[in-house]
Structures are given as C-alpha cells and as structure tokens.
Homo-oligomer: A and B are copies of this chain.
Amino acid sequence: MSTETAELINYHFFLSIIQTGENMSVFILLNCKTYDEGTGPNAVKLAEACRTVAESSGVEIAIAPQIPDIFRTANAIDIPVYSQHIDGAGPGSKTGHIYVKSIKDAGAVGSLINHSERRLTLADIEAAAAVLKTNKMKSVICTNNVATTAAAAVFAPDYVAIEPPELIGSGIPVSKADPGVVTDSVEAVKKINPNVKVLCGAGISKGEDLKAAIELGAQGVLLASGIVKAKDPTDALYDLVSLI
C-alpha cells in the first residue's frame, strides 16, 4: 500500500472515530525487556514514572517488567502490571514455566504473549490467551505482519501488537517506515473480531509516533528502549503523550 493511500485511510479512520464518538482510550504498554535500566529496583522507578504521567495525562499506561520483578513492582506502584511472557500450561510438572496463577498472585493483570523475542507455537499462543481469559486477565498477542495479526485476532485477545521484527529497536517508528502494515492490520483485525484492539510497536518513542499510530487506527503502542533507556523516562513519557 502506498503512503498516500495509507494516509487517506488514516484520515477516514480518524474522521469516523471522531464522528462516531467511539471510545478511543489510548493504551501505552512499556516493556522493560531485560534492560538493566528496567531490572529490579529500576523496574519500580519506571513504574513510578508511568504512574506520574498516567495520572497527569489521563492516558492509560501499563508496565511489563521482567517476570521476577512483577511482585515487587505490582506491590509498590499502583499501575497495571503485565508479564512479559506466559505459558498456557496448567498446574503440574512444568518446571520453569510461567503459570498464570503465579503471575496473577504476584500482581499481574495481564501478559504479553508471543513477543518476537519469545515466540511461541500456535497451540501455545492459543492456550496462553485462553488461560488469561479464564483468569480474567488481559492478553496482548504480539505479531510480525498482517497475516499473523489476523490469525492472532481469532483468539480474541484484548490486544494484538504488530511489530515488524526488522524495526524493533531500530528507532525508526513503524508508523513512518511502514504505515500500511498498521492500517492493514487494523482492517484485518476488524474483519475477524472488532472487539480486538490493535497496538503498534517497533521503533516507537516520541509523541509524533504515538499520534501517528493513533491516526493509523491503532489504539495504542507497545514500546521499550525509547523510554526505558531514556535519560529521564518521565520526561520521555510526557513527550510521548504530548500530542494526544
């Protein structure tokens, strides 16, 4: 899809949103990955930055610290905490697996599933989405292109997060490098299940990136290094929400 076409589609999406008054509450999910700047006590500090900016802006901001940091983060700061990974398996002989009840008990309200750095089989993605639903937790399935985004939507997660792998950590926002992948994903998901919301990931860090993502039809962003490794994450988050 050409950039021009994509922009036109954006425009119409945007119009329709405004006109219908559809609830477009923006969602920001900050992934700490295994950056030292987001490990242990630093995860708590980042969560605090998220809460500060969420409160003053009214935008929903959640954090996905490393799994051993969920308990500490969720118990220290009152914002939604997500796990970076979850296994669909139930209780039993599953040493080292991430069991839904364990992350829920630790304070998580949801989980990423199938991040490109922790990919799962189709069967495991479905199982993970299912156990989150059973436990009334939020699910964010990460995908790498339009087709996998559409397939993930079949599992009726709360969100799919489209992140072209070649843009992750690139600093080049997907909304600029490949706006068509976002608009096409939004369209494809709508056909499969209109209740599933689309997040836009990969290369997002600034206010204009988030704005562009929203204009392309996404309901928010999944981002990491741009905030986690920023000199001042609070400032970086303020910039992120400044244009919406």
The chain A residues found within 8 Å of chain B, CB to CB, are 31, 33-36, 39-41, 64, 66-72, 83-85, 89-99, 101-103, 105-106, 108, 112, 114-126, 130, 143-145, 147-148, 150-152, 154-155, 168-169, 192, 224-225
B144 x A151 contact (CB < 8 A) = no
Q: What B residues does A69 contact at CB under 8 A? A: 71, 102, 105-106
With A71-B69, A94-B34 in contact, do A101 and B39 touch (Cβ < 8 Å)?
yes
- For the complex, give the distance between the alpha carbons of A96 and B147 in Å: 23
What 15 additional pairs, Cβ within 8 angstroms, besides A34-B95, A34-B99? Answer: A33-B93, A34-B93, A36-B91, A64-B95, A67-B96, A68-B71, A93-B224, A95-B112, A95-B117, A122-B152, A126-B147, A126-B151, A147-B155, A150-B154, A151-B154
**CA gap between A13 and B202 in the complex, in Å:** 45
From known contacts A33-B92, A125-B122, infer whether A68 and B83 are also in contact, taking CB-CB under 8 Å.
yes
Does A39 contact B102, Cβ atoms closer than 8 Å?
yes
* CB < 8 Å neighbour of A99 from B66, B148, B168: B66
Contact present for B148 and A126 (CB under 8 Å): yes
